[in-house]
Chains A and B, each alone.
Chain A
Amino acid sequence: GAVVSQHPSRVICKSGTSVKIECRSLDFQATTMFWYRQFPKQSLMLMATSNEGSKATYEQGVEKDKFLINHASLTLSTLTVTSAHPEDSSFYICSAGGGTGYLSGTDTQYFGPGTRLTVL
C-alpha cells in the first residue's frame, strides 16, 4: 500500500517559537492532503484540507494565520504552527488521498504516523 511519512515524529519547543511539520507521500502523488489534530483520548479533528497548488481550506475555528499550510507539490505538504503556545500541544496527523496514477479515482486515504508536539 501507499506510504505517507511525517517529520519530525516528535518535537518539543519553547512557547513563542514556530514549528514546521512535513507530510510526504512516498510512492504516489497526492492531489489532496488533510491535516488533523488529536487530543488525548479524543478522535481526530480535521484542521484543513489542502490541494496541490492552491490555498488550503480551513475548518471552522482553525486559525489560518496560526496554522500555515503549504502544499507546493504532489508529494509534500507542510504545516507550520506559528508562535506556538502550550495549548497547541497535540498530536498532528496528516493523510494523503486523491492519488494520481494507479491510485487515481480512489477514495482511499493514507495516514502518516503523526507528529507529537509539546510546547513548553
Chain B
Amino acid sequence: KNEVEQSPQNLTAQEGEFITINCSYSVGISALHWLQQHPGGGIVSLFMLSSGKKKHGRLIATINIQEKHSSLHITASHPRDSAVYICAVRSSGSARQLTFGSGTQLTVLP
C-alpha cells in the first residue's frame, strides 16, 4: 500500500462543474502539499496545509488530520484547470522530504 493515495486517477469534467480530488495518507505528517503540473512539466505549489482549510480563488483545500485525508476542490472549473494534481506529504520528523501521490489527471472540457 502506498503511503499516499489519490483518487480518482483520471477525471473528466464539463466546464463549470465542481471538482473534488481526494488524498489519503497512512503516516503522521507535518504538512501536506497540493501541487499542479501542466503538460509542459512545470510544477506549481497550490497549497501547503497542516490543518483546517485554505482557499485561493476557485481552489479550496481541506485536511482532516485525524482521518489522514485531504481534499482539493475546484469550483466553476475551466479548461485551463486541466492538469495533473499531485498530493504530497512531509512525514513528521523528516528533513523536508516529500512523499508524492501518483497524481490525478484532470481534463475539463469546454
Closest to A38 in B: B41
Using C-beta atoms within 8 Å of the partner chain, give the interface range for chain A: 20 to 34
Main secondary structure on A side of the interface with B: strand
Q: How far is the CB of A119 from chain B (nearest CB, A)?
A: 17
B26-66 residues with Cβ-Cβ distance < 8 A to A are 30-31, 33, 35, 40-45, 48, 50
A78 at the interface (CB under 8 A from B): no
Q: A32-B96, A34-B97 are in contact. Are A111 and B35 (CB under 8 A)?
A: yes
**Is there contact, CB below 8 Å, between A49 and B95?**
yes
From A44, which residue of chain B is reached at the shortest CB distance? B100
A113 touches B42 (CB 8 A): yes
Tell me if A107 and B90 are in contact (CB < 8 A): yes
Chain B residue total in the interface (Cβ 8 A) = 23
CB distance from B42 to the nearest CB of A (A): 4
Contacts of B97 in A (CB 8 A): 34, 46, 49
Establish whether residues A32 and B95, one from each chain, have CB atoms under 8 Å apart when the complex forms: yes
Candidates A43, A46, A112; contact of B103 at CB < 8 Å? A43
Chain A proximity mask over B88-110: 1 for CB below 8 Å, otherwise 0: 10100001111011110000000
Complex contact A116–B98 (CB within 8 A): no
Known contacts A49-B95, A49-B96, A97-B96; decide if A110 and B101 are in contact (CB<8 Å). no
Check A43–B43 contact: CB distance below 8 A. no
Contact partners of B90 in chain A: CB under 8 A = 107
The answer to whether B35 touches A43 (Cβ under 8 A) is no
A57–B45 Cα distance when bound, in Å, is: 24
**A37, chain B: closest CB distance, angstroms:** 12
A23 close to chain B: CB less than 8 A: no
Cβ A109 vs Cβ B103 within 8 A: no
Write 10 A-B pairs (CB below 8 A) sorted by A numbering. A1-B45, A34-B97, A44-B100, A46-B98, A49-B96, A106-B48, A107-B90, A109-B98, A111-B44, A112-B42
